[in-house]
Amino acid sequence: MSDAPTSAPSTATKLVAEALGTFLLVFGSLGAALFAASFGQGTDDSIKAIGFLGVALAFGLTIVAGIYTWGPVSGGHFNPAVTFGLAAAGRFEWKNVAGYVIAQIVGGAVGTTLLVLIGLFGPAGWLSSAQDSGFASNGFGEHSPGGFGLGAAIIAEILFTAIFVLVILGVTHPHRGAAGFAGLAIGLTLTLIHLASIPIDNTSVNPARSIAAAIYGGPDALIQLWVFIVFPLVGGLVGGLLHRALFERTPVAPAPEEARRR
């Protein structure tokens, strides 16, 4: 086994890694929501349904897998709001944001497209029923799982996305971070966020996930999509700026020589 240093990944390789990570997140988690969340509802098989808890775990597990698999290549954003937050915190160059966001949106769209292809070969009426139900899209008002309105969706997306970005920036800090446990901490945080907010608006905190679902979720999902693009991005920026203001300006202790001269 060679110990020779490897070259840094190219921009193209990073973009492919972001697309793959977002694909895994969307395909795995929305697949769980669509195929297993209410499996057997109304029959004796309903005990096999995974419910909100299972879907929340699916989001957490897929992000953990993506971070440990492709995080070393691209940084493991898999989410435009995270990319915006890292850029706002000074951890990522703004000039690279557009490429990452496009790759994430493409990866997510491929994920839901493959779910549709699977659904084409499902039970009669399954795909049309899934699309009529919004295809696991985010929503508010009559499209909220718990009947929450627009204001609740806006507040939840800003706050939960900001918290998510703050956790990511904290556990990946080059000097104070959790090193090898960062992916696990991020995955558990995403699970917690979904447990708390699925009833509010089906949980976005990720515009790529929302776009991917809305493509096949019908006109109502597309009409409400702007909320789940704009406010997760706002939350990401808030989290990034807060981290930069609070935790990236710690005074550096003077070197021993400088201390003695004083």
**DSSP string computed for 30-91:** HHIIIIITTTTTTSGGGGG--HHHHHHHHHHHHHHHHHHHHHHHH----SHHHHHHHHHTTS
Q: What is the pLDDT of residue 262?
A: 46
Instruction: Tell me the average confidence (pLDDT) per consecutive run of 10 residues in the chain, 262 residues long.
Output: 65 98 98 82 62 94 97 97 97 97 98 97 93 96 97 98 97 84 96 98 98 97 98 98 86 48 47
Spatial separation of the C-alpha atoms in residues 98 and 102, rounded to whole Å: 6
Q: Which CATH superfamily groups domain 11-244?
A: Glycerol uptake facilitator protein. (1.20.1080.10)
Spatial separation of the C-alpha atoms in residues 226 and 204, rounded to whole Å: 12
Spatial separation of the C-alpha atoms in residues 161 and 200, rounded to whole Å: 14
Domain ranges within the chain, ordered by starting residue: 11-244
Q: What is the pLDDT of residue 49?
A: 72
Q: What is the pLDDT of residue 259?
A: 45
Q: What is the pLDDT of residue 252?
A: 45
Q: What is the pLDDT of residue 221?
A: 97
Alpha carbon distances (Å) from 95 to 11, 18, 74, 78: 12, 16, 15, 17
Helix (H) or strand (E) segment spanning residue 168: helix 150-171
pTM of the prediction? Answer: 0.90
Spatial separation of the C-alpha atoms in residues 221 and 105, rounded to whole Å: 16
Residue pLDDT, tens place only, 20-33: 999 999 999 999 99
Q: What is the pLDDT of residue 44?
A: 52
Q: What is the pLDDT of residue 176?
A: 80
